[in-house]
Amino acid sequence: MLVIAHRGASAYAKENTLKAFDLAFKLGASWLETDIQRSKDGVLVLYHDYNLKNGKKIKDSTFEYLKKFDIPTLVDLLKITPKNFTLNLEIKNDDNIYPGIEKQILEELKKAKNIAKEQILISSFAVDSLQKIHSLDKQINIGILTRNFELKTPLSLKAKSVNISVKRVTKKIVETCHKNGLKVLVYTVNDLQIYQKLKKWKVDGIFSDNPVLSSSNFFSLGGTL
């Protein structure tokens, strides 16, 4: 079962930062997951919430301002990503607040010299964004984030995976996905017992703040999991 570093090695470093990403690589994560938004001046940045902790919106902030909060860009991540490492890029685009972001992301990925297309999984809760990605590049891997599981949408998008909360996943959902050729990726798993249960269910991967969750000595690395 894959262990996907959730926003980097966020149990040990500030989430969605180059430090957290680099640590995830070094700790031996299978994949890395991060969130993509866009600054006021058009820079693709990696940050989860739509607002900073001070309340200012990402979309209304220049990149020069966002840099003060240790927020990296997609280009920054692509530059340090090792070869043969897979990235799950989540587009944050509820209500289409970032028009055209899908095309911009694909253009940046094409420029990346060390990342092959098959090493990318683009996911989102925004089905419109995934539809646009699919229309622009039918070969790119798509993972649909879902709060209410149903088959019609992932099958229509020819999705690679269904990404679902650990609070909502069931063994039946896993079996249904597998019968229909869909991988199941579960977020966010920081408990070893839950990890072992999902492994028995044959879940394909988990998102974890701790990239070495499955290691026998993971408690020795610090943090409170």
Residue 29 DSSP symbol? -
Q: What are phi and psi of 98, to 5 degrees?
A: -120, 75
Give, for 39, the enclosing helix (H) or strand (E).
Answer: none
**CA dist., res. 69 & res. 91, Å (int):** 20
Which positions ≥6 away from 20 have C-beta within 8 Å?
A: 5, 7, 8, 9, 10, 12, 13, 14
Contact call for residues 142 and 123 (beta carbons, < 8 A): yes
The upper half-sphere exposure of residue 197, i.e. CA atoms within 13 Å in the direction of its Cβ, equals 11
**CA dist., res. 57 & res. 48, Å (int):** 12
Whole-angstrom Cα Rg for the chain:
17
**CA dist., res. 51 & res. 193, Å (int):** 34
Instruction: Report residue 108 as tokens.
Output: 């940046």
Which residue is catalytic, options 2, 25, 40, 48?
48
Which residue is catalytic, options 4, 6, 195, 207?
6
Catalytic-residue membership of 6: yes
**Residues annotated catalytic, as ranges:** 6, 48
